[in-house]
Chains A and B, each alone.
Chain A
Amino acid sequence: MNDSKINLLEAPFELSYKYKRSSGPVMSKFFEGLSQMKIFGTKSKAQKVFAPAAEYDPDTREALTEIVEVGPGGTIESWSWVNSPRSHHLLKTPFAFALIKLDGADTAMLHMVSDCNESDLSIGKKVLPVWTENPTEAITDINYFILES
């Protein structure tokens, strides 16, 4: 009605909450592995290996339970360079989000690649994980991946 006449009330607010995630049997094994610097995938009846360990095969819809070790190295399937990390990004220096197919896996994992220049990156490049010194059984137990020298 009189939008232009009034000074709108505005104020910031936050939604902050610590969610308590239960990982279930399959993802728990994956996270335990990470804390020991191992990467686990799951293998379907048709021998397809999903890494990180998927709970369900999207195509056959079967529940996946067979755990297999993959990686730790992998190949970049795609990447996107973030030259100016934004406030919510975990890395504060330039990095890439990447889809990384770990050695021995048939599917890619989303993670980050850092300690390199954008021009060093291309699809097909080999990468290795950089592990955190303080594992918490989380996806962030891998800090990021680096290019294999």
Chain B
Amino acid sequence: MKKVAVVGYAQHKILPNAGALNEVELIMPVVHKVFNDLGISQDDIGFTCSGSCDYLQGAAFAFVEGLSAIQTSPPIKESHVEMDAAWALYESMLKIKMGDADTALIYGFGKSSPGNLDSIISLQMDPYYISPLWPDRVSLAALQAQILLHQKIITHDEMMATVIEARNNAANNPNALLTDQVSEDLYQADSLISSPLRGFDCPPISDGASAMVIASEDKAFEFTDNPIWIEGIDHSIESSNLGSRDLTTSPTIQNAITNLNLKNINFDVAELHTQFSHEVPFLRKLLNLTNVPTNLSGGPLVGNVMMCAGLDAIGKTFQSLVSDQSDHGIAHASSGPCLQHNMVVHLERHK
């Protein structure tokens, strides 16, 4: 199997309301940015894959509109996942490994501002038993937070520290949406949306887009002196029956730890697709990352572009390994209520 490397990544500045920009106008700048950084064009791309969700904009076939941002003459090898673009990366990697392409462009985009994300995400749930009760995304996440606190797997203080740290880290991320510092007093004074989650524990409504280019081992060095290798990538899903899941742990994260043999790797940096504050200490403990700098970008708590934030975690990890000249990074992408579907990516810079 061919090895695959991330060679480029670009992210649109995360906006609270990108009304001025339609899908095309959001996607095109990031695709051009990543192409320009690498000095390439669509002609150098063997496979293109995107991730998006129609319901965010309320229009079936949002991805078809988005494709107009891409050069498609001559026709391209292209596909789309109705998932976070991290899974578009996964599909693209398979295409390279099988030899169908040597390079791939991945992009994700999402505009949460046009609709009511809370009620939209209720439609992810079982349509017979659960979504008619309209549980919102915050309340669902809060159910897991409550159990984790009750079992003392995490603490309120850790949640607060996560929020404060995320805002601090955002100062170093020019694309972050929320950069205001949060003090302990300010945090404590914030009202509970769905207990135990306060407003600060939740991600902001965000609009944006990101693009990434990956390449096979044969091609990677043509594009960059600094390819970051996808040393391991693993994802799996948990039960759709929320009430049958053990929310105090994550079998899918455990799967990844085993399958990717992560136990003995000393990671230099981690970016987790943790949309709610309690998920950060929870996953750091599961992944043995308590001493690893995590979400130096601020993570989803300072900007959470739906369908893109998972790809962004991988992209931010890539950027850290390139800029810090460090060796091992771990990125995480997630989908579904209470971290139902998890992907873990081990990125490595070869000396």
Where the two chains meet, the residues of A that have a C-beta atom closer than 8 Å to any C-beta of B are 3, 8, 10, 13, 15, 19, 21, 23, 27, 50, 52, 54, 58-59, 77-83, 86-90, 97-101, 106-112, 118, 123, 138-140
Contact A81 B135 (CB under 8 A): no
State which of B21, B133, B241 has its C-beta within 8 Å of the C-beta of A58. Answer: B241
Segment with Cβ contacts to A, from B74-82, B191-199, B258-266: B191-199
Segment with Cβ contacts to A, from B121-129, B165-173, B301-309, B325-333: B121-129
Counting chain B CB atoms within 10 Å of each CB, which of A100, A111, A118 scores highest?
A111
Q: A15 — which chain B residues lie within 8 A by C-beta?
A: 58
A50→B244 CA distance, assembly (Å): 8
Contact B192 A83 (CB under 8 A): yes
Contact A78 B244 (CB under 8 A): no
State which of B58, B134, B240 has its C-beta within 8 Å of the C-beta of A88. Answer: B134
A130 CB, min distance to chain B CBs, angstroms: 14
In the complex with contacts A99-B242, A139-B132, A21-B127 CB distance below 8 A: yes
State which of A21, A99, A140 has its C-beta within 8 Å of the C-beta of B133. Answer: A140
Would you list the 10 A-B pairs with minimal beta carbon distance, nearest first?
A108-B243, A80-B142, A58-B239, A107-B244, A88-B119, A81-B195, A3-B20, A80-B194, A97-B139, A78-B143
Contact A82 B122 (CB under 8 A): no
Contact B192 A77 (CB under 8 A): no
A111→B19 CA distance, assembly (Å): 36
Segment with Cβ contacts to A, from B84-92, B95-103, B144-152: B144-152
A110→B140 CA distance, assembly (Å): 10
Contact B130 A139 (CB under 8 A): yes
Number of B residues near A (Cβ < 8 Å) is 42
A60→B32 CA distance, assembly (Å): 48
In the complex with contacts A8-B19, A88-B116, A88-B122, A54-B241 CB distance below 8 A: yes
Residue of A nearest to B135 (CB): A97
Residue of A nearest to B238 (CB): A58
Counting chain B CB atoms within 10 Å of each CB, which of A3, A13, A86 scores highest?
A86
Is the C-beta of B247 less than 8 angstroms from some C-beta in chain A?
yes
Q: B241 — which chain A residues lie within 8 A by C-beta?
A: 50, 54, 58, 107
State which of B125, B128, B135, B146 has its C-beta within 8 Å of the C-beta of A21. Answer: B128
Is the C-beta of B279 less than 8 angstroms from some C-beta in chain A?
no
In the complex with contacts A10-B19, A88-B118, A107-B244, A81-B194 CB distance below 8 A: yes
Q: B135 — which chain A residues lie within 8 A by C-beta?
A: 97, 110
A101→B244 CA distance, assembly (Å): 10
A26 CB, min distance to chain B CBs, angstroms: 10
Is the C-beta of B136 less than 8 angstroms from some C-beta in chain A?
yes
A83→B191 CA distance, assembly (Å): 9
A139→B131 CA distance, assembly (Å): 10
Q: A54 — which chain B residues lie within 8 A by C-beta?
A: 241, 244
State which of A27, A89, A100 has its C-beta within 8 Å of the C-beta of B128. Answer: A27
Contact A58 B244 (CB under 8 A): yes
Q: B139 — which chain A residues lie within 8 A by C-beta?
A: 80, 82, 97
Q: A10 — which chain B residues lie within 8 A by C-beta?
A: 19
B255 CB, min distance to chain A CBs, angstroms: 14
In the complex with contacts A50-B244, A54-B241, A80-B195, A138-B132 CB distance below 8 A: yes
A-B contact pairs, 29 of them (CB 8 A): A3-B20, A15-B58, A27-B129, A50-B241, A50-B244, A52-B129, A58-B241, A59-B239, A77-B243, A78-B146, A78-B247, A79-B146, A80-B146, A80-B195, A83-B192, A83-B195, A86-B118, A88-B118, A89-B136, A90-B134, A97-B135, A97-B139, A106-B244, A110-B129, A118-B195, A123-B146, A123-B150, A138-B132, A139-B133
Q: A112 — which chain B residues lie within 8 A by C-beta?
A: 133
Residue of A nearest to B21 (CB): A3
A10→B19 CA distance, assembly (Å): 8
A59→B238 CA distance, assembly (Å): 9
In the complex with contacts A88-B116, A88-B122, A139-B128, A13-B133 CB distance below 8 A: no
B65 CB, min distance to chain A CBs, angstroms: 16
A88→B122 CA distance, assembly (Å): 10
Contact B240 A58 (CB under 8 A): yes
A107→B242 CA distance, assembly (Å): 9
Contact A87 B243 (CB under 8 A): no
Contact A107 B143 (CB under 8 A): no
Contact B243 A99 (CB under 8 A): yes
